[in-house]
Every structure is written in structure tokens, then in C-alpha cells.
Amino acid sequence: MGPDPDATPPADVRSLWRLRGYLRPYVGALVVMLSTALAGVGLAIGIPLVIREIIDGPVTGGDVGALVPLAGLALALGVLEAVLTWWRRWVQSSAVLGLETTIRHDLYAHLQRLPMAFHSRWQSGQLLSRATTDLSSIRRFSGFGMLFLLTNVVQVLVTTGVLLHMYWPLGLVVGATAVPVVWLSMRFEKQYVVVSRQVQDEQGDLATLSEEGAVGIRTVKSFGRAEHVSRQYEAAATTLLGTSLRKVSLSARFWTFLAAIPNLAVVLVLGLGAVGVGRGELSAGDLVAFITLMLSLVWPVSSLGVILAMAQEAMTSSARILEIFDTEPTVVGGDRVIAHPRGAVRFEGVSFAFPDAPDEPVLRGLDLTLEPGETVALVGATGSGKTALTALLPRLWDVSGGRVTIDGVDVRDLPLEHLRSLVATAFEEPTLFSMSARENLTLGRADASDVEIEEALDVAQAHFVHDLPFGLDTRIGEQGMALSGGQRQRLALARAVLARPSVLVLDDTLSALDVHTERLVEDALRRVLADTTALVVAHRASTVLLADRVALLQDGTVTHVGDHRHLLATVPAYRDLLAADADDDAEVPA
């Protein structure tokens, strides 16, 4: 199935290395970035050397004529360094943003391919944090940390070499500072990677609580649990605060020591350099150039802490994203296509158990046939497996045993996109998106005309959309929170009808409707179902009467199939399930 969302994957340089393929389209930009950065290093070293010549030449000798060209050269080098910096950052911004966008696109596409088993195990907040916070960490390191990790090392090595050439005793002092830096960096890396992963996981947990609080605000308010939910959020936020402070404390200690090392080296260089000048071993220009070059190393050395922290966060983020990429889709389509679908459906010896409970089958050896154009009502007690059965047709879940066929073709042999164009489902708890009513309706069929949309709205008795502030173009809000439960169900039903599927699955779609609206919808549905194969999950006798036949689901298998009145008269279990509607049924013709 893939990695456990609660497990902690290894975070090291291999995680980043596995994402190297995303850098290939930006090789040219990377070459420009690296070239300009290294050229900047050369200019940063060259400017102090020009200053040395100015001090030891025109300044010491009083030759004003020779001062102007050297000063102009120093100015030109400074301007060139600024231009190179601007060019690098301009190229860098477009490359790293493109990199982030590509990974985000692939991550989202991969999430869409993963089965329901994956999404049922992962918190949405954890997925959200990976698609936002973690990708931002990778972008920052790819655009800044990785480049400067390389250029800063080059600058330290080259500058140290120049210093050794100029005056080796002082060069050795500079080189000796690398020993404590390496030791501190190794200690920092081991501790920081653990706390960095913990912070990112806790950010995901907090995002989950935020999303649940927003989506479930009506439930929270109706039960008066706002204070309880707030305490949960505050507890998670406090935990994140504590872990974040530990992370900051660790980084602060590291950066403090790291900044102290080059400063101490500057003091030593000043002292030893003054002695060297006094002895005639160094010129004044040499000492100024030496100190200037030494100061130019303060940033590369002190920034090492920032870059290492950035690298650790990027490695941890890469590991977290690879958890998703490494999860292989288990629901994969075939290559057969039904050219002229009739809508004949068969469940042949179907068994099903949820992946996290393989020893607890929900369906057992189930057989059921739906002829083309036939409507079959599925009746069963709560927990009997009705919803699981309907989810097998569009392959939201896959059978554990047996097979499901459409027109004699196993649904596993059909491309998923083709299968889901043949089968449309309207759920009891409909999902609506934060888009316009029109966009929600045409989600399954983007080319639907206005006339077809009106026909679907008529079937679902969903003309209320015209009374919204902007009609069909009104944004209905996330999860359709601005609509009532019955309105959401009718809009979802209209969406399913508009898709014009060969097989229509209605999972107790009319449960939130009042009796009057339900009868209007049922009358309109009869016209639609006359030409469509339909599997209807029903709890009411009025809904059952839409069907040509009724299948009774008990203990994970279909025990009886037949006419509604026949089952009502001969099967006590069926009669008990519909007892509440039995009196109404007597008044309604079968």
C-alpha cells in the first residue's frame, strides 16, 4: 500500500538526489546561476587585491595619476559584481518557481491516482502541508541554499589559498578555523534533522485541525463545542510552539558559535598582521587586503548554519514528499474500451474487505445482475455493505474476490477515465466544490449545453439555483456550506444526471428531501431511468418503487431478488426494513 503516514522516513541527501530530475529542464538556468555566482566570488577576491595595489602604489608613493585608473578598476569590478548578482537572482527566481510548480503539479496528479485506501489513512492537513510548506522548503534550498553551499565553499578555499600565498602564518590561522566549524556542523546536523521533521509533522497536524474546524463549523456550533475544539487547536499549537522554540534554540546556539569563530580569527589576524608589518614582512597594502579578504569570509562561514538548516529542512521535506510519490496506485485501468455501451452490469462472486481489515469481509460471494436499462433497488440494514457495493462499480474500491463487469467486460480491464464516463454516482453526502453552481454541475461533462443543464435541474428539482444572487454563476462556497442538505443532494443528483452515464448509481441520494420534493424528483427520475441502467440504494418504500427489481443485502451477500410487493409479502427481513413505510406503500401502486 505504501509508507505509513505516521512513520518517520529517513531524511538525508539521497532524498534530495531522487528529485534531481526536476532540475533537468533548468540546466541552462543553473549554469548561468553558478557561473555568475563563481564570477562574483572572483570579483570579491579581486577587489581587495586592487585596493592593495592602490595603497602600496599611488597612496604610498603619492602618484595621483596612477590612482585614477586603479580606483576606476575597483569601481568597475564593484559595478560588475552588482550586475552579476542581479542577473543571477533574475534567472534564479524563474527557475526555482518553475521547479516548485512542476513538483506541485506532479504531486497533485499523483494524489488523484491514489486509491481510496490511501486517502482514508492520510489526514488532509498532512497532505496540505506537503503540498505547501514542504515544497517551499525545497524551492528555497534549490534556489539559494544549494547554490551558496557550493559557492561559499569555493570562496573559502580560494580565499584561504590567496591568503596563504600572501602571508602563510596568517593563512594558517584562517585555515585552522575550519576545524571547529566542521565539528559544530556535524553535531548540528544530527540534532537538527530530528527536530525539523517533528516541526513539519506537527504543522501538518495543526493544518488538519484548522481544516476540520472550518469545514465542520456548523456541527461545532450546533453542539456548543467551540471551546472544546479551540482547546484541541491550542494544545496542538502549543506543542508546535514548543518544538519550534527548540528548533530555534538549537539553530541560535549553532549560529552564535559559528559567528564567533571568524570574529576571533579577525582579532588574531589583526594582531599577527600588525607584528608582520612592524617586522617588514608585510606591507600596509598587504595587511589591508588581508583583513578585507578575511572579512569577506565572515558571511560564507557564518551563513553555513543557515544553509545547513535549509538543507536539512529540504531533505526532510523531500523525504515527506517521496512518501507520497513512493505510494504506488493500486487501482490501475486496462486498455479495453466499450465502443457502444448498453449498460449491462454483473456482480459475479464478489467479495470485498477494506485493506486495513482484510480478515473482516464486508461482501461475501455476492451475485447480482442488472440488465440494460433496468433499475435495481438495493435494500439492506445499516452496515450491510450497500455503499461498499456501489463503490465497486466506478472502482473507488476494488473487489477482493470475484469480478464486476459492464457489458461483459471486467471493469478492471477498462481505462479508469473511460469507466468513470460510463458510471456516474450521486452520494448521500454530496461533495460540492468552492466554485460556481454551473461549474459544479458540469464537473462530469464540461461540454453540456444550457438546455441540457436545465433538463438536469428539472429532473433533480434544483431550480433553486436560479434564485441565488448570481444564478448559476453564484459561487456556492466550500463544501456547499451555503446550501441546505437537500439542496446539496439535488445539485449532486443533477450533476450525475447531466453526465448522461450508461450506469447511474444513486447512493440514498434522496434522503435529505422532504416528501413533496422527493415525489417530484422521483417522477422526473422515472423518465431518466427508463433509458439508463441504475443501481439505487434505498431506505424508503417510495424510493424502492422507482426500481424494476429489488435486491436484499444481508450479511454481505444478496439473499433475495424480486418484485417489491412479492418481497414485502414473503420476506420478513425485507418487510421489517421497510416497516416505517409499509402503510404508505399500500396507497401507492407498485
Give the tens place of pLDDT for each residue, 470-527.
889 988 866 666 787 788 888 888 888 888 889 988 887 776 677 777 777 777 878 7
* Among 395, 489, 487, CA closest to 115: 395
Tell me: pLDDT of 1 over 50: no
Looking at every residue in the chain, the average pLDDT score rounds to 82
pLDDT number for residue 61: 67
Distance CA 63, CA 54 (A): 10
Type of residue numbered 481: M
> Angle at which helices 485-498 and 450-459 pack, to 10 degrees?
130
Q: Which residues contact 537 (CB under 8 A, 6 or more apart)?
A: 377, 378, 386, 387, 390, 428, 506, 507, 508
Quickly tell me which residue has 572572483 as its cell. Answer: 42
- How many residues make up the chain in this entry? 590
Tell me: pLDDT of 273 over 80: no
Query: Helix or strand or coil: residue 482?
Result: coil
483 forms bridges with which residues in the sheet?
Answer: none
Tell me: pLDDT of 8 over 60: no
- The predicted model scores a pTM of 0.72
Higher confidence at residue 92 or residue 347?
347
Over residues 115-149, the pLDDT tens digits come to 888 888 887 778 888 888 888 888 888 878 888 88
Tell me: pLDDT of 565 over 50: yes
Please, what is the end-to-end C-alpha distance for the chain in angstroms?
Answer: 47
User: Which H or E run includes 193?
Assistant: helix 178-215
pLDDT number for residue 158: 86
Q: Once rounded to an integer, what is the mean pLDDT over residues 254-279?
A: 76
Rg (C-alpha) for the chain, rounded Å, is 35
Cα four-point dihedral sign 132, 134, 135, 141: positive
Tell me: pLDDT of 167 over 80: no
360-364: long-range pairs with CB below 8 Å, 24+:
361/400, 361/556, 362/388, 362/556, 363/388, 363/389, 363/556, 363/557, 364/555, 364/556, 364/557
Type of residue numbered 417: E
Distance CA 11, CA 47 (A): 41
Please report, to the nearest 10 degrees, the dihedral formed by the alpha carbons of residues 576, 582, 583, 584 taken in order. 150
Over residues 45-77, the pLDDT tens digits come to 888 888 888 887 777 766 667 778 888 888 898
**pLDDT level of residue 393 (50, 70, 90 thresholds):** very high
Over residues 298-352, the pLDDT tens digits come to 777 767 767 877 888 888 889 889 989 998 888 888 999 998 999 999 999 999 9
Distance CA 50, CA 137 (A): 39
Tell me: pLDDT of 192 over 80: no
* Among 489, 333, 497, 359, CA closest to 417: 333
Over residues 94-118, the pLDDT tens digits come to 888 888 889 999 999 998 888 888 8
Q: Once rounded to an integer, what is the mean pLDDT over residues 347-358?
A: 90
pLDDT number for residue 584: 45
CB atoms under 10 Å from CB of 227, counted, come to 9
Distance CA 62, CA 421 (A): 88
402 — phi, psi (to 5°)? Answer: 75, -160
Cell of 75: 569601481
Cell of 172: 594558517
pLDDT number for residue 268: 79
pLDDT number for residue 480: 62
494 — phi, psi (to 5°)? Answer: -60, -40
Over residues 150-161, the pLDDT tens digits come to 888 888 888 888
pLDDT number for residue 561: 93
**pLDDT level of residue 186 (50, 70, 90 thresholds):** low
Q: Once rounded to an integer, what is the mean pLDDT over residues 412-432?
A: 87
Tell me: pLDDT of 222 over 70: no
Distance CA 100, CA 22 (A): 9
Higher confidence at residue 388 or residue 170?
388
Query: Helix or strand or coil: residue 349?
Result: strand
pLDDT number for residue 53: 82
Higher confidence at residue 224 or residue 393?
393
Q: Once rounded to an integer, what is the mean pLDDT over residues 182-186?
A: 71
pLDDT number for residue 585: 43
Domains of the chain: 13-325 (1.20.1560.10), 345-585 (3.40.50.300)
pLDDT number for residue 560: 93
The proportion of the chain whose per-residue pLDDT surpasses 70, expressed as a percent, equals: 90
